Amino acid sequence: VFKDMCVVLGIDRHRTNSFHPQSNGMIERFHRNLKVSLKAQNQNSNWVENLPTVMLGLRTAISDSDQLSAYQRTFNISATLPSDIIAPSPPKFNEPSPQLKDHLRRTHKSYLPKSIMKATHVYVKELPYKGGFSPLYNGPFKVMTNNGKTITLDNNGAGKNISIDRCKPALILPFTQHTDSREKQLQPQVAPDPDNPPGQQPTNPTKHSYHLRSNKKVTFQV
């Protein structure tokens, strides 16, 4: 029912992720500007009385991203302000057309490294960062699905959607270590003695005597 109502009213509903201000940054920025504008008014007055004036300024403010105001996006015309009657602003003729802006916005694709698209395990950035010696990334976590915008991670058998901006690929090497073969590789190889084959002791061991500087005699059996 809610989906059909949005279609009838022409509303585009978009889902957002937690700790991902890129997806709802306009709302967060609007809330910040609203608080700053209300604080700039007279502190002794009621903020409800100053709200219409503040909302008029925010709705007619020109955005830096598309050079349009919220009033222009809603009604497709510029709002008439008291300042326009006193000193009208000159028209601008060098602005790009809205059709060109829409075309560039649709054709522009965000950059994503190939490693994150093919990664089987990823590290997830911890937000908010606790500071100190706490790790910045947690993981690695196994990737279940990846659609280029969000990654579904294996969270103890349950899927958890995380924005791809918070993830970085983890290099997982296959564990193929064998203890027996490694011990054999670490053992030094000694050249066999032709006179004494392996597994046999010499029948007549020879003795060698040495005299040290302290006139002590030392005997070694070989």
Q: What is the pLDDT of residues 199-216, one digit of tens each?
A: 555 556 666 666 666 666
Supply the pLDDT for residue 139. Answer: 80
**6 shares a domain with 62:** yes
Tell me, yes or no, whether 53 lies in a domain. yes
Q: How many CA atoms lie within 13 A of 58 on its CB side?
A: 18
Supply the pLDDT for residue 183. Answer: 45
Supply the pLDDT for residue 221. Answer: 63
Residues 122, 168 contacting (CB under 8 angstroms): yes
User: How many DSSP H helices and E strands does the chain contain?
Assistant: 8, 7
Q: Which helix (H) or strand (E) holds 213?
A: none
Tell me, yes or no, whether 165 lies in a domain. yes
| Mean pLDDT in residue range 8-20 | 74
| Mean pLDDT in residue range 65-89 | 80
**124 shares a domain with 81:** no
Residues above pLDDT 70, as percent of the chain: 65
CATH at residue 121: 2.30.30.140
Confidence of residue 83 (pLDDT cuts 50, 70, 90): confident
Q: Looking at 22, 54, 89, which one is the last position of a domain?
A: 89
pLDDT at 175 over 60: no
pLDDT at 142 over 50: yes
**82 shares a domain with 10:** yes
Tell me, yes or no, whether 101 lies in a domain. no
Tell me, yes or no, whether 95 lies in a domain. no
Q: In one letter, which amino acid is 200?
A: Q
pLDDT, tens digit (0-9, with 9 covering 90-100), for 90-126: 666 666 677 777 777 777 766 777 788 888 899 988 8
**127 shares a domain with 64:** no
Confidence of residue 185 (pLDDT cuts 50, 70, 90): very low
Q: What's the chain's average pLDDT?
A: 75
**77 shares a domain with 8:** yes
Q: Looking at 169, 190, 210, which one is the last position of a domain?
A: 169
Is the entire prediction scored with pTM above 0.85? no
CB-based burial label for 167 (10 Å; 0-12, 13-18, 19+):
buried
| Mean pLDDT in residue range 17-28 | 68
8 vs 205, residue with greater confidence? 8
Per mean pLDDT, which of 7-21, 44-58, 190-204 is the most reliable? 44-58
Tell me, yes or no, whether 141 lies in a domain. yes
Tell me, yes or no, whether 148 lies in a domain. yes
3-state helix, strand, coil in the chain (%, to 5): 35, 20, 50
Tell me, yes or no, whether 200 lies in a domain. no
144 vs 222, residue with greater confidence? 144
**161 shares a domain with 85:** no
**84 shares a domain with 15:** yes
The SS3 call for residue 211 is strand
Q: Which domain holds residue 158?
A: 114-169
Q: Provide the 10 A C-beta neighbour count for residue 30.
A: 14
Q: Looking at 136, 153, 169, which one is the last position of a domain?
A: 169
Overall number of domains in the chain: 2
Tell me, yes or no, whether 103 lies in a domain. no
